[in-house]
Amino acid sequence: MILNFIAFYQLAYLSKQIFIKEKTINNNQSLYKNKNLVTILLATTLRGYNLGFLGVFLGIYLYYLGLSNLQFGIALSCFTLSGAISNLFVYFFKNILSRKISLIIMTLSATISGIMLMYTDNYYMILIAAIFSIGSITGGDRTGISSIEIPIISKLVEPKNQTYAYSVYNFLPMISKIIGTSILIIIPVLRSITSLQTKSIYFILLTIYTLINTIQTSTYIFLNKEIESINYEKAKIISTSGSDSKLILIITSLFAIDSFGGGFIARSFISFWLIKSFSLNEGILSIIFILAQILNGISLILAPKIAKKIGILNTMILSQIIANSIIVVAALSTNWIIASILYLIKEAFNDLDIPTRQAFMMNIVSEQNQTQMASISNLGRTGAHTFSPGVAGYVSSIFGINLSLVFGGAIKIIYALILLRFKSITFKKYN
């Protein structure tokens, strides 16, 4: 409880700082006076709880069901596949369905998935529920929902303020992710002070998860036509320019490499690793991931400042090299305290590239191609991420889960080095 109080005090202070430094959308219009933007921020904050909860809970829950490493990896791949499917949905229906309707459909799908998870512990039914989940095993959001929300923010906010806006967009759900992660502390508490069985406690947590999905669906009803893309407003498909197509292809390919490596070190995989290698309980795991979320939040606040000093691409590259070098060392540790500390240090650097990456993507293509950039790049990320947990499960079943983590960190370092090479050739004018 003391740790939670300190954590939320720190987050309250950080939240105050980010709002003190508030910029504007258009001269005198406050960032938080735009109805659509506030709606998007509220929805992503609600979703943040579920992402924080699911990212850690999956590792615990699937371990509780007694899955093998390979079965666990396949299950995670199905959860990631749902993100890929949602991005395909956004891409193919971007000029047919409004952004508002698309958001409602995807959150309804997540609600159905939650109901299925509440009432079954059958492995194959869980795989089906996973495909409907529009979820994430990383704690982050690479789904079709973010593929729509990111261009909406770009449409509502001037380019000079977008890195800041994306920092707020990522910071608010970071706070709710901490709540979603910290709720897992009640599992060992309820087991000790009540007669509830573990399965009943998990049912309660999944019920909360499903209710929040339902509330998020209702939130999107308040969006209006201001959020719609040029393509949809003109009711026709505008072809992507040659230069935009090339950039989208390059970005998607690079991000796919990064995401493939990320599947080996996803938050669900980390929780599975810690509980299986060191026999940690849900309470300790929850504390570790609460601290990780706090460090993520701090990095989101610092990202615009660092990017302003060293450049957007340099921030993306350096943060990933540092973070993934640390996780490689953590994976080789035989002491849970050392492994946890190294993991937390890694998390302090890991999210520096999120708002910078989002601002970068939206500013290198024209407005009519922003949804396409977001959906295709997210599709590349989730597509690669879909296969990597299954591969990671196979690798860990043969060589051990530690080597699987090393492999994932190494792939992400290679991605950063490739991005460094492309930086001087293709992206020089954008840095």
DSSP one-letter string for 382-408: HHHHHHHHHHHHHHHHHH-HHHHHHHH
Distance CA 61, CA 317 (A): 34
Tokens representing 47?
């979703």
Cβ–Cβ < 8 Å for 304, 169:
no
Mean pLDDT, rounded, of the chain: 82
**Reduced DSSP (H G I as helix, E B as strand, rest coil) percent helix, strand, coil of the chain, to 5:** 80, 0, 15
- The CATH classification number of 7-430 equals 1.20.1250.20
Amino acid at the residue 374: A
Q: 181 versus 331: which is more confidently predicted?
A: 331
The per-residue pLDDT for range 22-67, each reduced to its tens digit, is 444 444 345 566 889 999 999 999 999 999 898 888 888 888 888 8
Distance CA 154, CA 156 (A): 6
- Beta bridge mates, 29: 26
Distance CA 287, CA 124 (A): 31
Q: 211 versus 67: which is more confidently predicted?
A: 211
Q: What is the pLDDT of residue 427?
A: 52
Distance CA 257, CA 416 (A): 10
Distances from the Cα of 30 to the Cα of 23, 152, 278, 358, angstroms? 7, 17, 49, 21
- Residues contacting residue 30 through CB under 8 Å, at least 6 positions apart: 22, 24
Q: Is residue 143 pLDDT above 60, yes or no?
A: yes
Q: What is the pLDDT of residue 392?
A: 86
Phi/psi of residue 352, nearest 5 degrees: -60, -25
The per-residue pLDDT for range 72-112, each reduced to its tens digit, is 889 988 988 898 898 889 888 877 899 999 999 999 999 99
Q: What is the pLDDT of residue 345?
A: 95
Q: What is the pLDDT of residue 423?
A: 63
Q: What is the pLDDT of residue 13?
A: 46
Q: Is residue 426 pLDDT above 70, yes or no?
A: no
Distance CA 406, CA 264 (A): 8
Task: Name the nearest CA neighbour of 131 among 104, 148, 112, 149.
Answer: 112
Cβ–Cβ < 8 Å for 95, 236:
yes
Q: Is the pTM of this model over 0.85?
A: no
Task: State which H helix or E strand residue 26 sits in.
Answer: strand 24-26
The per-residue pLDDT for range 161-196, each reduced to its tens digit, is 777 788 788 888 888 888 888 888 888 888 888 888
Tokens representing 418?
């490739």
Distance CA 134, CA 129 (A): 10
